Structure 1
Amino acid sequence: MATIRDVAQRAGVSVSSVSNVLNGRSDRMRKETLLRIEQAINELQFQPSRAALQLKTGQVSLLGLLVPSIVNPSFASLAHEVDIAARRYGYRVLLGNTYRNPAEENAFINDLLSQGVRGVIVASTMVEQKFLHSALQRGLVMVNYDVQSQPGCDTETAPQTDRVSMDNFQAGKLAAYHLIDRGCRRITFATETGKSASRSSRINGFLSAVKEAGLSDSCTVLEGKAREGYGDAEMTELGKQLAEKIAQSSMMPQGIVAINDMMAIGLIAGLRAQNIRVPQDISIIGFDNTLMSALFTPSLTSVAPPLANMATTMVERLMERLADNAIPAGEYLFSPQLVMRESVID
């Protein structure tokens, strides 16, 4: 692997001249000298040391992304979009699975800080943890994904982090009303018992919609218990389990809103095993609009976040606040979009 000394020797210049080029200080350099250095860099395929850059600036061109579980395709899609947005600024993304575990989150954040990473996107249910306050005081710049400020939140004591989220309350309403508009009067919301802020908002939006439609007495929330945590890696299996309960009920729902696409796919598979057809017997709608939702049979109607726009906003906010941490944190709420496919009856 070529070193900065190799580049200097190839170009016939001093190491400090190469360093000036690498750090953007070539304005007073003779044009032919600059061209020789650039040619030597290209010929030797020289890559500046990230460790050296950290020693010089205290930072590296890396961003952190902490998610509960990459097994959930919605978080894989998030990582993809964040990576695309980060590359526009010459940054790469380090990914960590936290399993919604405070100790894991704390360890990852400490690792990032120790490596000179100062910007991080966190998909977490635990934005008020003390270790996050500590990390912010140590220079971390953070964006919380899919977390909205709650009514009555004390903004003076809350961590100064940007929040970027889909409007999950409206997403829950949108899903419920889509089923109601298709003639469903008995509707079940299927979810896992662990209530993150976004899950609670979706359920509350669903309950608001059925109440407005006068259907509260015929609509229910059905919960399944995961073996670990919030069930981020178990949603398909939970959907299958809930399908068995639904098939055994005396009055089956006409429509189901699932907490996310993976649970919805599990429900469809479980109902099929019970000889219950989707959408002829029961319509199903999910959230997140993951890649599998279009590939499954029947293809899944889903409420989608504008993920590319959200990722761009998160990375832009990190860049702005890394440049000037005095910029106040903000909240950015994105409208959900309904993607209609085959799992809801016409």
Structure 2
Amino acid sequence: MANIRDVARRAGVSISSVSNLLNHRAHQMSAETQLRIERAMDELHYRPQRMPPRTSGQPTIIGLLVPSIVNPSFSALAHQVDLSARAYRYRVLLGNSYRQEEEERAFITDMFAHGVRGIIVAASDIRQTHFVRCAEQGMRIVSYDNRFSGSMAADTRLVDSVSMDNVEAGRLAANHLIERGCRQIVFATEAALTLSRSNKIDGFLAALRSHQLPAYERVIEGNASSEYGDTEMFELGRALVSRILAMTPRPDGIVAINDALGIGLMTGLRAAGVRIPQQISIVGIDNISLAGFSEPGLTSVMPPLAAMAQLMVERLIKRINDPLLPPGEFLFPPTLIGRQSVKD
């Protein structure tokens, strides 16, 4: 499904120009530019969902809370959320929680103090009491990369959930290695498991079982010095190399919990004299920009981050303007991006 970025790209204009046309500000552009945008919308069959008009005096700010902007995955998320918010003339206030409850509470307090009424919370347990109370007090929240539990009834949900299908991401990565001939496959991750990490592992193990491959002791966990290791994934990947090379039989394929850890693995393996992908193939998850510049290029499972960011911003603005709009759950399929880190 086409989005506002696709229209801007097709028309050869900025996202803000498309936004101006959608929000009845065509007087700010030439007739030729307006025609190009309208033609691009027709060619792409783009039919935008109209936002309700903003209440006079309402803050044009949303919040984004991430575990750590140092993690490239969350940097990419922040960039896409900012682009999406700008398309609707909103600004983004960014907070780093370091997965600490006191930091999350402080961020919520700051948002209320600034008059902000919508926040995106990335990779945190949205069931925590402070998030529940925040939603009950009128804050509109979108939970990113943290799906609802199966036991949560739709009529009890207070927040939106937007996530990549992490089970499918783990399955897709493992299947790709299996299809390329790998049989001794492991999953490398930080030991402190979040829901999304657990889901990726579940998909990975399901793929091994479906191909009658050994699934026991296939998850290799490392302990970072900071809880969850959000700022240490490159280093953790390097640290796991000695354990992986000591395994018997030696793995011939590795799925990394994210690209940063995967790049760290490749650096450590090359230093140990291991040829990639001839001896060990590696697949990451996230498709950060560095994946394409690593040596070799890292094959990765990609979330449709731009589309997810746009939906999250739209959901916040809609629910801010329409308090009766119920929260929803939105699951996006991943895509595998093949590079040189997996053997042919």
Separation (CA, whole Å) in 2 of partners of 1:125 and 1:81: 19
| Deviation larger for 244-253 or 71-80 | 244-253
Partner of 1:341: 339
The partner residue of 1:246 within 244, 247, 252 is 244
Separation (CA, whole Å) in 2 of partners of 1:255 and 1:135: 44
Q: Please tell me the residue identity of whatever aligns with 2:78.
A: A
Separation (CA, whole Å) in 1 of partners of 2:95 and 2:325: 27
Q: Is the 8 A contact 1:187 1:253 kept in 2?
A: yes
The correspondence of residues 99-248 of structure 1 with structure 2, limited to 5 A, is 99-158=98-157, 160-217=158-215, 220-248=218-246
C-alpha displacement of 1:153: 2.7
Q: Which secondary structure state, in structure 2, belongs to the residue aligned with residue 189 of structure 1?
A: strand
Q: Is the 8 A contact 2:274 2:280 kept in 1?
A: yes
Separation (CA, whole Å) in 2 of partners of 1:266 and 1:140: 39
Deviation per CA, 1:10-59: give whole Å up to 9, x if none.
xxxxxxxxxxxxxxxxxxxxxxxxxxxxxxxxxxxxxxxxxxxxxx9674
Q: Is the 8 A contact 2:126 2:132 kept in 1?
A: no
Q: Is the 8 A contact 1:186 1:218 kept in 2?
A: no
Q: Is the 8 A contact 2:253 2:280 kept in 1?
A: yes
Q: Which secondary structure state, in structure 1, belongs to the residue aligned with residue 254 of structure 2?
A: strand
Partner of 1:326: 324
Partner of 2:80: 81
Deviation per CA, 1:228-249: give whole Å up to 9, x if none.
1110101111100111111222
Q: Which secondary structure state, in structure 1, belongs to the residue aligned with residue 308 of structure 2?
A: helix
The correspondence of residues 60-75 of structure 1 with structure 2, limited to 5 A, is 60-75=59-74
Deviation per CA, 1:153-208: give whole Å up to 9, x if none.
344544x1000000000011000000000000100000011111100000000000
Q: Please tell me the residue identity of whatever aligns with 1:135.
A: C
Q: Is the 8 A contact 1:188 1:255 kept in 2?
A: yes
Q: Is the 8 A contact 2:262 2:282 kept in 1?
A: yes
Q: CA RMSD in A?
A: 1.4
C-alpha displacement of 1:217: 4.9
Gap change, CA 1:279 and 1:219, over 3 Å in 2: farther
C-alpha displacement of 1:311: 0.3
Q: Please tell me the residue identity of whatever aligns with 1:255.
A: G
Q: Please tell me the residue identity of whatever aligns with 1:279.
A: P
Divergent runs of 4+, >4 A? 154-158
C-alpha displacement of 1:152: 2.0
Q: Which secondary structure state, in structure 2, belongs to the residue aligned with residue 230 of structure 1?
A: helix
Separation (CA, whole Å) in 1 of partners of 2:146 and 2:247: 35
Q: Which secondary structure state, in structure 2, belongs to the residue aligned with residue 216 of structure 1?
A: coil
Q: Please tell me the residue identity of whatever aligns with 2:302.
A: A
Deviation per CA, 1:311-336: give whole Å up to 9, x if none.
00000101110101110000000000
Q: Which secondary structure state, in structure 1, belongs to the residue aligned with residue 142 of structure 2?
A: strand
Separation (CA, whole Å) in 2 of partners of 1:109 and 1:304: 30
Partner of 1:258: 256
C-alpha displacement of 1:116: 0.5
| Deviation larger for 307-316 or 124-133 | 124-133
Q: Which structure 1 segments of 5+ residues have no match?
A: 1-55
Q: Please tell me the residue identity of whatever aligns with 1:81.
A: Q
Separation (CA, whole Å) in 1 of partners of 2:149 and 2:114: 33
Separation (CA, whole Å) in 2 of partners of 1:307 and 1:86: 14
Deviation per CA, 1:290-322: give whole Å up to 9, x if none.
000001100100000000000000001011101
Gap change, CA 1:217 and 1:104, over 3 Å in 2: closer
Q: Which structure 2 segments of 5+ residues have no match?
A: 1-54
Q: Please tell me the residue identity of whatever aligns with 2:73.
A: S
Q: Which secondary structure state, in structure 1, belongs to the residue aligned with residue 228 of structure 2?
A: coil
C-alpha displacement of 1:219: 6.6
Separation (CA, whole Å) in 2 of partners of 1:232 and 1:283: 24
Aligned length: 290
Deviation per CA, 1:197-224: give whole Å up to 9, x if none.
1000000000000000000257711000
The correspondence of residues 265-304 of structure 1 with structure 2, limited to 5 A, is 265-304=263-302
Separation (CA, whole Å) in 1 of partners of 2:150 and 2:328: 16
Q: Please tell me the residue identity of whatever aligns with 2:272.
A: Q
Separation (CA, whole Å) in 1 of partners of 2:291 and 2:229: 19
Q: Please tell me the residue identity of whatever aligns with 1:312.
A: Q
Q: Please tell me the residue identity of whatever aligns with 1:261.
A: D
| Percent identity between the two aligned chains | 51
Deviation per CA, 1:96-143: give whole Å up to 9, x if none.
100111111111011011110111000133211111122112221000
